[in-house]
Amino acid sequence: MRTTIDPAGRLVVPKKLRERLLPDEGGVVDVVERDGVIEIRPATAEVELEDRPGGPVARSPHAMPPLTDDDVRDALERVRES
């Protein structure tokens, strides 16, 4: 897919790709250069490890929306497809 970069340096990501791969409008992404290629990825959540009985637990220091069953199923499908 081809797209353009406007005079302000903004890149238009085609709607089909945005809907499938990126967070909603206003969501945060990471932009990384690797071997001359620009990668755009949804930003990962910050986590801290908290020691609890039974072992450490990863938790976010920020408020996070709850995961739904559909969120978990979608994530599993994406992992299986890759």
- On whether the CB atoms of residues 31 and 40 are closer than 8 A, the answer is yes
Q: Which helix (H) or strand (E) holds 54?
A: none
Q: What is the mean pLDDT of residues 23-37?
A: 87
The tokens 């976010």 sit on which residue?
A: 60
**Average pLDDT of the segment spanning 17-26:** 80
Q: Is the pLDDT of residue 66 over 90?
A: no
28's CB contacts (< 8 A; 6+ apart) are 42, 43
Q: Say what the pLDDT of residue 75 is.
A: 87
Read off the tokens for 28. Answer: 């945060």
Confidence band for 44, pLDDT divided at 50, 70 and 90: confident
